[in-house]
Structure 1
């Protein structure tokens, strides 16, 4: 009965052979999306970067949809390892292999600066004898040198912005050449102080430019270690040659003839190696923020706490390095009864330790951690310095001074790498110049 009722609802018909065949099933017609719009689509900064450079750099990406903005707080190591640029900045780090001649030029300049700084301690006893002056007056050369470093800190970035890197390096080398020409003629002592002021100004400018250049190459610790190691090599050679010349009756100022020839080579090499550096600099991405004008860089650098703490740290470091290098010979002569013709080579041992430490120990810094590495080395140098003061023996003091140099050497390049990584790129030259000026004040 239910089946009959269900059949009553449907009328089933049989198809006949004469009816029209059913057409085959086909795909629906293709549809086209209408894309015409009154509003013209604009390209984003990232797309402009793609068009300008052909590929996208590791720049900032757009946040995904639904991004809440909440992030996990970064650890101190992550904050240290990231660059000091602002939001959207893309640090582009060059490699040492594409800049090998420039690195070699920097090493030669560092070598000359090391000779300039280390030979003073070996020549001080002979300068005192020639001019008939004491400690208080002869120490004015360190004050003049420090004044040159401080003045250069305020003009370094402006000179770089006006002349460019190559001409700034040439200008600095010319200033140092003029100072050495003044010294070789053995002028009155007042002119000697002026020449050391010029040497400080020229050396500060070259150090600021070369420290920033080397710190922004990959790997920074190795490149800075090689550059500062060359500084140590100059520190080894100069006391040996200066002591050998002066102990044989040659006038102390004649040593600076060697410096005249070396700085002339540095000037020519720097002009050739860095002449096209401006064209070789990495392009700035359109998506990165606009850089501050150079007139504001000094103010920004002085407001950066990394600059202040870096200046205080290098102040203490440079004070220790210069005081040991400049006065250890006088200390051994007057308080340990050493022979001036022999203890003059102790300075070479100190700089030999610095050189070996910079070439060997700097490679360990990234593995251990630069902060911990610098802290351990600083504690070790303090212990060795106490040993030099407390052991009344010339040989024991000489060995302790050499070991002290071995631990003290890597501190500066590792610290410079940390400072450069934490500072924005556009204020690095000014900040490093200020740090160098403060460091030289510690040496004075």
Structure 2
């Protein structure tokens, strides 16, 4: 609220630019770790801004489908380009030149797009923002932030949304990251071919977000997510139980197709349940809140470690 939308986008893109520059220079490993911290921070801020903006458009579900469909495009194209570059002896770090170029473009384009964003806000919302700024100027900034944080942490929608997104992200990353290992270890697939199954999964994610998010809006987001998750369970079981690589590859792609609209639908529902003042905080932190909560529960549930007698 203090920086404004354009400067926040500039900050997030600048963090990405800095992270990619560090990686391209092929520094020592500790510097690579630091660069990925910058990348994670920049992506988190950018994702929160994008979600809040798209969630408040007229057809929010379709807009969010397009937003996260582009994420799926990167999931499909990125591994293919990286594999092609590596197979031709190109240094691995140079792959990130592509990411750097995209980040520089987004930096300039986002600042230009949102330069007058606050001036074009509806009068009611603009008045609320001005009141907030006035309270901050009068010394109420820390109290306002503390109150908002408490409100977000106690909010039922935020907590349930955190748990939902945590589970969704875990399933998505697990399938895309481990299905190749599963096919090699248990289906005895050729490593040079089964790697494309992961690309098929991301292709399904992309198509689902582009083409199923809009119909899901008309069916109803809550009902659509239930049906999509049930379908994903069915095809995941097929992947597990059918001892055929081609069948597994098709089933995994369909799982991606069905999972694709789930995230846009969920974000659209969260935005309708949350007031505007809480949206950025609630969208930015759900995964972290969910992760920490599940970590604590899982850790506390572990059996006690028996003391060694020797």
TM-score range, shorter chain: 0.7 to 0.9
**Equivalences for residues 17-96 of structure 1 within 5 A:** none
State yes or no: 1:194 paired with 2:34: yes
Q: What's 1:278 paired with? A: 118
**Equivalences for residues 410-429 of structure 1 within 5 A:** 410-429=261-280
**Equivalences for residues 30-429 of structure 1 within 5 A:** 161-284=1-124, 293-429=144-280
Distance 1:441 1:246 in 2: 37
**What's the CA shift for 1:315?**
0.3
* Structure showing greater Rg: 1
**What's the CA shift for 1:441?**
7.5
Query: For residues 328 and 239 of structure 1, do their structure 2 counterparts lie closer, same or farther at Cα, with a shift above 3 Å needed?
Result: same
**What's the CA shift for 1:438?**
4.6
Verify the 8 A CA contact 1:176 1:199 in the aligned structure 2.
yes
Query: For residues 285 and 336 of structure 1, do their structure 2 counterparts lie closer, same or farther at Cα, with a shift above 3 Å needed?
Result: closer
SS in 1 for 2:26: coil
Residues 266-297 of structure 1: per-residue CA shift (max 9 Å, x gap): 11111111111111111117998976934432
**How many residues are treated as equivalent by the alignment?**
283
CA root-mean-square deviation:
2.5
Verify the 8 A CA contact 2:118 2:126 in the aligned structure 1.
no
**What's the CA shift for 1:431?**
0.5
Query: For residues 248 and 189 of structure 1, do their structure 2 counterparts lie closer, same or farther at Cα, with a shift above 3 Å needed?
Result: same
**What's the CA shift for 1:171?**
0.9
**Which stretch has the larger CA shift, 286-295 or 352-361?**
286-295
What TM-score does the superposition give when structure 2 sets the normalisation length? 0.83
Verify the 8 A CA contact 1:172 1:206 in the aligned structure 2.
yes
**What's the CA shift for 1:207?**
0.6
Q: What's 1:437 paired with? A: 288
What TM-score does the superposition give when structure 1 sets the normalisation length? 0.59
**What's the CA shift for 1:304?**
0.9
Distance 2:172 2:27 in 1: 28
Verify the 8 A CA contact 2:62 2:217 in the aligned structure 1.
no
Distance 1:439 1:243 in 2: 34
Distance 1:349 1:284 in 2: 46
Verify the 8 A CA contact 1:231 1:355 in the aligned structure 2.
yes
Question: Which stretches of structure 1, 4 residues or longer, exceed 6 Å deviation after superposition?
Answer: 285-292, 439-442
SS in 2 for 1:217: coil
SS in 1 for 2:124: coil
In structure 2, stretches of 5+ residues that fail to align are: 136-143, 296-310
Verify the 8 A CA contact 2:183 2:194 in the aligned structure 1.
yes
In structure 1, stretches of 5+ residues that fail to align are: 1-160
SS in 1 for 2:212: helix
Verify the 8 A CA contact 1:298 1:431 in the aligned structure 2.
no
